[in-house]
Amino acid sequence: MPAAESTLIGYLLYWGDPSSTRQDPDQILKATTLNRRIAGIKAAHSAANAPWPTSSHHGDDLVQATLDCIAVLQKSGRTSARALTIRKLHAVVGGLPLTSHGIRNQALLLTGFFGAFRRSELVNLDLADLTFSDGDGPDLDEGMILQIRFSKTDQKAAGRDVYINFGSNPFVCPVRSMRRWIELRGDEPGPLFTNIWSNGVGNSRRLSPNSVTSVLKAALSAIGDDPSSYSAHSLRSGFATAAAKAGVPARLIKQQTGHRSYEMVDRYVQDGSSLIDNATRYMQ
């Protein structure tokens, strides 16, 4: 201390700007939370008799101005990622080639969507976290189980299991696509989703969270779609929205996404049901 003004503003924008792609939308901190954190930092400065940073030219409190701006942006409901629809997911996965990269990316995108994973949860999976059911499917009670060992909403690392059933369409089935990837990847311990050498052979390096966005955008571009409004979060929000539209109970959506409260789930339910349950449908 004293903290630089630019440091504090950068901190606020990193965690609070809803239009940023640095964080998944459900990892953005609310303006009220950031206000409490800044109040704590300011109190620490006061206790240490350290000056609070203000603009060198006009004495303005740009930190508070940034907080106010973030509050307005969050209230306006701006988001950084468009939800991926089921129809577009099928088109994207169907457009991937049956190469090493294509097989891995199919498994990555389908698992990310139907598991409603955050990008960090998806790439942090290890092979040991994956379990297939005993049967060869596709019975409704069969599929795969993925263990999340740690996540944003599980600070004590209690872990939780995510269940993904066989899909009715074998070409876009997350379980079948995962089996194809494991057959190619091999049974060596380590990251579930790894990088691939140019010769098509996998290596032991874990994919980065940003890789999920890159894979999705490239797949969208390959089918002639504009990828600019999509990110890794499009898989997670796409599942929740599609599930709500299909009439899946909110408690089951919450169970899959791992949200602690129904606040975020309610937003997805509203988005997913807005064209299904509204007054104008009864007036046609």
| Band of residue 80 on the pLDDT scale cut at 50, 70, 90 | low
pLDDT value, residue 90: 95
Residue 223 clears pLDDT 80, i.e. is over it: yes
Query: In sequence order, which ranges of the chain are alpha helices (DSSP H)?
Result: 5-16, 31-47, 62-75, 86-94, 100-114, 119-123, 174-185, 209-222, 233-245, 250-257, 263-273
Q: Model confidence over 139-149: pLDDT tens digits?
A: 556 899 999 98
pTM higher than the cut 0.95: no
| Band of residue 14 on the pLDDT scale cut at 50, 70, 90 | confident
pLDDT value, residue 144: 94
Q: Residue 146 phi/psi, 5° resolution?
A: -120, 125
pLDDT value, residue 79: 54
3-state secondary structure of 282: helix
Q: Model confidence over 38-77: pLDDT tens digits?
A: 999 999 999 999 988 876 555 567 888 888 888 887 776 6
Range list for CATH 1.10.443.10 in the chain: 86-273
Higher pLDDT, 197 or 36: 36
Higher pLDDT, 170 or 19: 170
Task: Residue 72: count other Cβ atoms within 10 Å of its Cβ.
Answer: 11
Q: Alpha-carbon distance 201 to 104, whole Å?
A: 11
3-state SS of 167-235?
CCCHHHCHHHHHHHHHHHHCCCCCECCEEECCCCCEEEEECCHHHHHHHHHHHHHHCCCCCCCCCCHHH
Write down the CATH superfamily of domain 86-273: Intergrase catalytic core (1.10.443.10)
Which amino acid is present at 149? R
